[in-house]
Amino acid sequence: MKSIPAPMPLQWKQRPWRRLIPFQSWRQLLSFGLISATTGLACKLFFQWTGADLPNPVLACGIVAGALPSQVLSIPGVLRTDGTSVTVPAVVAALGEFGYESRDSVPGVDRLYTPRIAAWMRSRESAIRLRVSDGELSLEGPYFFLRSLRTQLLRKAATPG
């Protein structure tokens, strides 16, 4: 029987009040604004073309409510482990299963993983940074993604085999 893996603390990277603001950079805020404005214009033109009467505030609320969850999911977090229960190859394999691949690295120190999608669709906020120092693994990236990754790593570490 395999021993129970050591706990892997998952923490928010920022202060609690900062989590109330889902935008992590001016670039992300600008991107959200441009996408929302373009979508709003397209929806307004569509509704005018079909003859439907949709008030602007209702349209704006719908667009923001539909687009905001993607911003909330990119709030940064940090996952740390001592490196004994979860190894670097296990983390790299799990990231690969989630569709992430290595982009650049400083051998033995720092690795950057991004989703395997077209470059113009990637955002900096979705990147995962893996740091190894003094036997401790540290992953920085979107909090909610790290939570899923931690669950998968703990499940694999606890299964006999």
Residues 65 and 81 in one domain: no
The number of distinct structural domains making up the chain is: 2
Tell the burial category of 123 from Cβ atoms under 10 Å away from its Cβ (0-12, 13-18, 19+).
middle
Instruction: Give the mean model confidence (pLDDT) for residues 76-84.
Output: 81
Residues 46 and 112 in one domain: no
| pLDDT of 110 | 81
* Alpha-carbon distance values, 68 to 22, 43, 58 (Å): 8, 17, 15
Phi, psi of 28 (to 5 degrees): -65, -40
Q: Which residue in 26, 24, 37 sits closest to 67, CA to CA?
A: 37
Residues 143 and 87 in one domain: yes
Instruction: Work out the number of other CB atoms within 10 angstroms of the CB of residue 8.
Output: 20
Tokens of 62: 């719908």
Q: Give me the domain span that covers residue 58.
A: 23-72
Q: 138 versus 74: which is more confidently predicted?
A: 138
| pLDDT of 23 | 75
The model's pLDDT over 107-161, given as tens digits with 9 standing for 90+, comes to: 556 888 888 887 777 777 788 888 888 878 888 888 888 989 988 888 887 776 6
Helix (H, G, I), strand (E, B) or coil at 103: strand
Residues 27 and 51 in one domain: yes
What does the alpha-carbon distance between residue 141 and residue 104 come to, in Å, rounded to a whole number?
15
Instruction: Work out the number of other CB atoms within 10 angstroms of the CB of residue 114.
Output: 20
Residues 144 and 116 in one domain: yes
| pLDDT of 1 | 36
Which of 52, 72, 92 is the last residue before a domain boundary?
72
Residues 117 and 57 in one domain: no
Instruction: Give the mean model confidence (pLDDT) for residues 10-36.
Output: 76
Radius of gyration of the chain (CA): 20
Residues 48 and 99 in one domain: no
Within a domain: 18: no
The single-letter code of the amino acid at 19 is R
Residues 82 and 41 in one domain: no
The model's pLDDT over 30-66, given as tens digits with 9 standing for 90+, comes to: 888 888 888 888 888 898 898 887 888 888 888 888 8
Residues 68 and 81 in one domain: no
